[in-house]
C-alpha cells in the first residue's frame, strides 16, 4: 500500500534537512547571487549617467570612466556568476550523494516481500533517476527563487526609487503570474506522477532486455521487446507534451501582460517629463525585469517534477525496514532448528503456503525437503532465513525463538547455495569472501582452504590474475559449474553452522555435478543442512527426508524407511528411477 502523499511544506522541510549540513556554502552561494543581482541596477544606472552626462558638449566626468564602470560591473557579475555555479555544484553534488545513500541504505533493508511487489525497474529509477530529478530541482528552483527573486527585488526597488507611480503600473504582471502558476500546479503534479510510473516501466523493460538478451534472441523476441519499449516511450512523449503545454502557456500570457504594461509605462514616462537618461534607465530596468519574471513563471514545471520525484524518494526512505524486534545476540549456534506448528500465507493470498508444520532438525543433521512444486519447500527455506515471518506457531534456534534473536545475529548462522547463483561484478576473491570480513580484510589461509574445498584450484590456476581476476557481471566469465562452486566456496569461507542448499546441482551436467557434489560433501560436514532437491538420488544419504504436499509434511524418515513405507516418496523415487533407466 502506498503512503499518503506528502504536503509541499513537509517535502520542503525534509529537503532542507538534507541541505542544512551544507548551509554555510549554500549561504555563500546566496551572497554570490545577491552580488550578481546587484549588478543589474548598477548597469542601468551607468547607462542613465552616460545618457545624461556623457553626451553633453562638456561631459561631467572623464570619458575613461565609462569603460571602467562597465568593465567593473561585468567583473563583479562574472565573480558572482562563477561563485554561484561553483558553490551550488559543491552543495548539490553532496546532497545528491546523501539522498542516494539514504535511498540505497533503505533498499538494502527492505523486506523481501517489497521486492516481490515492486518492479526492479521502479527501484532502480528511484535510486538513480528520481533522486537526480530532486537534486536538479533543488538547484534550478533555488537559483530561480533566490537569484531571480533578488534580481526582481533589486530592479523593483530601483524602479520605485526612480518613479513609484510608473512602477505600480509595471508590477501588475506579478499577481497575474502567481494566478497562472497556481492554476497549473495541480495538473503538472499529476502528469509528473504518471510520467514517473511510465519511466519506471521503461527502466524495467530495458533491464529485462539486457538481462534476458539470450532468451530474446533464441525465441525471436526482438519485435515484442521493441513494441514494449516503444509503447512506454510513446507514453512518455505524450506526458512530456502535455506537461509542456501545461506550463509553457504561462510564458506567452506573462509576456503579453508585460508588453501591455511596458507600452503603457513608455507612454506615461514620456508624459512625465523624464530626462533621456532617466527614461533609458527606467525602460532598461523594466526590460531587465522580464527575464527573471519569465524564469519565475517557468519554474513551476520543474518544481512540480521535483516534488513528484521527492514524494517517491521519501516514500522509499520511509518504507518500513525488515522487522527486527530481537534483542539477543548469539555466538556460534549449535544448529538445532525447530518448527512448532508453523503457519504461513503469502501477502494477498488466501491459501496457506505452510499449514501447521512441525519439524526438529538436530545439530549436524542433513534434512532433505522433497515433494511436488508448490508443496512448501521454498517457503520453508524462506522462513528459516527469516525472509518472512510466520503468522502462527514459532521457529526456534538452539531453543531461542527467532523473534528474540537479532536479524544480523541470526543470519550470521546461515549460509545459502542455490540453483540461481548470484555473483557480483568483482574479483573472485571478493565474491568468495563476500560480506564476512569486508573488502579490504580477507583471511588468505581461509580463502585458499575454501578454494581447495570447493574444487576451484584448476579454475583459479587458469584465471589470468588468479583470485584477483574480475569475473564479470554475475560471474559471466565462468561456466555454470564453476559459478556454482564459487557459491559453495563462499559458503565454506563463511563457515556458518546452518547450511541451505536450494537445488544446488539441478542445472548442471554430469561432470560439473560430480565436482559440485564433492564440494558440497565437504561443505555439509558437521553442519545442520537443509536440502531442497528434485533429483532424489542426490539425497539418499540424508539423515531425515521430509516429504511436503500443499504446505503440510505428509511423510518423514530415512530413505530406506520411506521406501519400505511405500508412500508418496516411494512413488516419486520409483518414478524418477524408472525415467532415468528409460533415458539411459
CB 313 within 8 A of CB 103: yes
283 and 370 housed in the same domain: no
The answer as to whether 427 is a domain residue is no
CB 365 within 8 A of CB 543: yes
Cα separation of 175 and 524, whole Å? 76
The answer as to whether 269 is a domain residue is yes
The H-or-E segment that residue 544 falls in is strand 544-549
Q: Of 152, 133, 153, 130, which Cα lies nearest the Cα of 141?
A: 133
Q: Which of 293, 318, 343 is the last residue of a domain?
A: 318
The answer as to whether 435 is a domain residue is no
Q: In CATH, what number is assigned to the domain containing residue 567?
A: 3.40.50.300
What pLDDT score does 381 carry? 92
Give the end-to-end CA distance of the chain in Å, rounded to a whole number.
53
350 and 281 housed in the same domain: no
Q: Where are the alpha helices (H) located in 212-275, listed in sequence order?
A: 213-218, 222-248, 250-271
DSSP-derived 3-state class of residue 301: helix
Domain membership of residue 214 as a residue range: 8-318
CB 344 within 8 A of CB 387: no
Q: 531-570: buried (b, 16+ CB within 10 Å) or exposed (e) per residue?
A: bbbbebebbeebebbbbbeebebebbbebeebeeeeebbb
Q: Of 358, 362, 368, which Cα lies nearest the Cα of 553?
A: 358
Which cell numbers in the block locate residue 143? Answer: 537559483
Q: What is the DSSP letter of 4?
A: P
282 and 346 housed in the same domain: no
230 and 344 housed in the same domain: no
Tell me how many domains the chain contains: 2
Residue 36 CB contacts under 8 Å (≥ 6 apart), including other chains: 77, 80, 81, 84, 147, 151
Query: Residue 366: beta bridge partners?
Result: 529
CB 485 within 8 A of CB 459: yes
Question: Distances from the Cα of 411 to the Cαs of 443, 525, 571, in angstroms?
Answer: 21, 19, 36
What pLDDT score does 124 carry? 82
| HEC secondary structure over 272-291 | CCCCHHHHHHHHHHHHHHHH
Cα separation of 475 and 456, whole Å? 14
What pLDDT score does 539 carry? 85
The answer as to whether 274 is a domain residue is yes
Q: Which of 318, 339, 374 is the last residue of a domain?
A: 318
240 and 378 housed in the same domain: no
Q: Of 166, 172, 174, which Cα lies nearest the Cα of 149?
A: 174
257 and 347 housed in the same domain: no
The answer as to whether 438 is a domain residue is no
Which cell numbers in the block locate residue 240? Answer: 512530456
Cα separation of 412 and 430, whole Å? 18
CB 498 within 8 A of CB 337: yes
Cα separation of 190 and 207, whole Å? 26
The answer as to whether 20 is a domain residue is yes
The answer as to whether 433 is a domain residue is no
The answer as to whether 424 is a domain residue is no
Entry pTM? 0.73
Cα separation of 114 and 391, whole Å? 18
Binning the chain into helix, strand and coil, the percentages to the nearest 5 are 65, 10, 25
264 and 374 housed in the same domain: no
213 and 351 housed in the same domain: no
Unique residue bearing C-alpha cell 534580481: 151
Residue 538 CB contacts under 8 Å (≥ 6 apart), including other chains: 505, 517, 531
177 and 34 housed in the same domain: yes
Which cell numbers in the block locate residue 368? Answer: 532433505
249 and 333 housed in the same domain: no
Q: Which of 280, 302, 318 is the last residue of a domain?
A: 318
313 and 327 housed in the same domain: no
205 and 79 housed in the same domain: yes
Q: In CATH, what number is assigned to the domain containing residue 250?
A: 1.20.1560.10
Q: Where are the alpha helices (H) located in 299-376, listed in sequence order?
A: 300-318
**Residue-by-residue pLDDT tens, the chain, 584 positions:** 445 566 778 888 888 888 889 888 888 988 888 888 777 776 666 666 666 665 555 555 565 666 677 788 778 888 888 888 888 888 888 898 899 889 888 888 888 888 877 777 778 888 888 888 888 888 777 776 777 777 777 777 777 777 777 777 666 655 665 566 566 666 666 676 677 677 777 777 777 777 666 566 655 677 777 887 788 778 777 777 776 776 666 666 666 766 676 677 777 766 666 766 667 777 777 777 767 766 776 676 677 778 878 888 888 888 888 888 889 999 999 999 999 999 999 988 888 999 999 999 999 999 999 988 888 998 999 999 999 999 999 999 999 999 999 998 999 999 888 888 888 888 898 888 887 755 567 888 888 988 888 888 888 999 999 999 998 888 888 888 888 888 888 888 888 999 998 877 655 556 666 777 777 777 788 889 999 887 787 788 899 999 999 999 999 999 999 999 988 989 888 887 665 444 44
Amino acid at each position: 500500500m502506498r503512503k499518503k502523499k506528502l504536503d509541499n511544506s513537509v517535502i520542503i522541510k525534509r529537503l532542507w534537512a538534507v541541505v542544512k549540513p551544507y548551509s554555510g556554502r549554500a549561504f555563500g552561494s546566496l551572497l554570490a547571487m545577491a552580488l550578481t543581482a546587484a549588478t543589474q541596477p548598477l548597469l542601468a544606472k551607468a547607462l542613465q549617467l552616460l545618457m545624461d552626462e556623457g553626451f553633453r558638449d562638456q561631459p561631467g566626468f572623464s570619458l575613461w570612466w565609462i569603460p571602467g564602470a562597465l568593465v567593473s560591473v561585468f567583473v563583479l557579475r562574472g565573480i558572482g556568476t562563477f561563485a554561484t555555479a561553483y558553490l551550488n555544484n559543491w552543495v548539490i553534488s553532496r546532497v545528491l550523494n546523501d539522498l542516494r545513500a539514504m535511498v540505497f541504505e533503505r533498499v538494502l533493508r527492505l523486506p523481501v516481500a517489497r521486492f516481490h511487489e515492486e518492479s526492479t525497474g521502479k527501484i532502480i529509477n528511484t535510486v538513480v533517476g528520481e533522486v537526480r530529478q530532486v537534486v536538479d530541482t533543488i538547484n534550478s528552483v533555488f537559483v530561480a527563487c533566490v537569484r531571480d527573486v533578488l534580481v526582481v527585488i533589486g530592479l523593483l526597488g530601483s524602479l520605485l526609487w526612480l518613479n513609484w507611480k510608473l512602477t505600480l503600473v509595471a508590477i501588475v504582471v506579478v499577481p497575474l503570474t502567481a494566478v497562472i502558476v497556481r492554476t497549473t500546479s495541480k495538473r503538472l503534479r499529476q502528469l509528473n506522477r504518471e510520467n514517473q510510473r511510465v519511466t519506471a516501466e521503461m527502466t524495467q523493460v530495458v533491464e529485462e532486455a539486457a538481462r534476458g538478451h539470450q532468451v530474446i534472441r533464441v525465441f525471436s523476441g526482438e519485435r515484442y521487446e521493441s513494441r514494449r519499449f516503444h509503447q512506454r516511450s510513446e507514453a512518455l512523449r505524450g506526458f512530456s507534451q502535455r506537461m509542456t503545454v501545461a506550463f509553457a502557456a504561462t510564458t506567452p500570457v506573462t509576456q503579453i501582460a508585460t508588453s501591455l504594461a511596458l507600452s503603457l509605462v513608455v507612454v506615461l514616462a514620456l508624459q512625465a517629463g523624464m530626462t533621456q537618461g532617466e527614461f533609458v534607465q527606467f525602460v532598461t530596468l523594466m526590460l531587465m525585469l522580464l527575464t527573471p519574471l519569465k524564469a519565475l513563471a517557468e519554474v513551476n514545471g520543474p518544481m512540480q517534477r521535483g516534488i513528484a520525484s521527492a514524494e517517491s524518494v521519501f516514500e522509499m526512505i520511509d518504507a518500513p525496514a525488515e522487522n527486527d524486534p530481537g534483542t539477543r545476540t548469539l555466538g556460534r549456534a549449535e544448529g538445532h532448528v525447530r518448527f512448532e506448528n508453523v503457519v504461513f500465507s503469502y501477502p494477498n493470498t488466501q491459501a496457506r503456503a505452510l499449514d501447521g508444520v512441525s519439524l526438529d532438525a538436530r545439530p549436524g543433521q542433513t534434512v532433505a525437503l522433497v515433494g511436488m512444486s508448490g508443496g512448501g519447500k521454498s517457503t520453508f527455506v524462506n522462513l528459516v532465513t527469516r525472509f518472512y515471518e510466520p503468522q502462527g506457531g514459532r521457529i526456534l534456534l538452539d531453543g531461542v525463538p527467532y523473534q528474540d534473536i537479532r536479524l544480523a545475529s541470526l543470519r550470521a548462522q546461515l549460509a545459502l547455495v542455490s540453483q540461481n547463483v548470484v555473483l557480483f561484478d568483482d574479483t573472485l576473491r571478493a565474491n568468495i569472501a563476500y560480506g564476512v570480513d569486508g573488502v579490504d580484510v580477507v583471511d588468505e589461509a581461509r580463502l585458499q582452504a575454501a578454494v581447495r574445498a570447493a574444487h576451484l584450484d584448476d579454475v583459479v590456476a587458469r584465471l589470468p590474475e588468479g583470485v584477483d581476476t574480475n569475473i564479470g557481471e554475475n560471474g559471466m566469465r565462468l561456466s555454470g559449474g564453476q559459478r556454482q562452486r564459487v557459491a559453495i566456496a563462499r559458503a565454506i569461507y563463511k563457515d556458518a553452522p546452518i547450511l541451505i542448499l536450494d537445488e544446488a546441482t539441478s542445472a548442471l551436467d554430469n561432470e560439473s555435478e560430480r565436482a559440485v557434489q564433492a564440494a558440497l560433501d565437504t561443505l555439509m560436514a558437521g553442519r545442520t543442512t537443509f536440502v531442497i532437491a528434485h533429483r532424489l538420488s542426490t539425497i539418499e544419504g540424508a539423515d531425515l527426508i521430509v516429504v511436503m504436499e500443499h504446505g503440510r509434511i505428509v511423510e518423514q524418515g530415512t530413505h530406506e524407511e520411506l521406501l519400505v513405507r511405500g508412500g508418496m516418496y516411494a512413488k516419486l523415487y520409483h518414478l524418477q528411477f524408472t525415467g532415468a533407466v528409460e533415458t539411459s
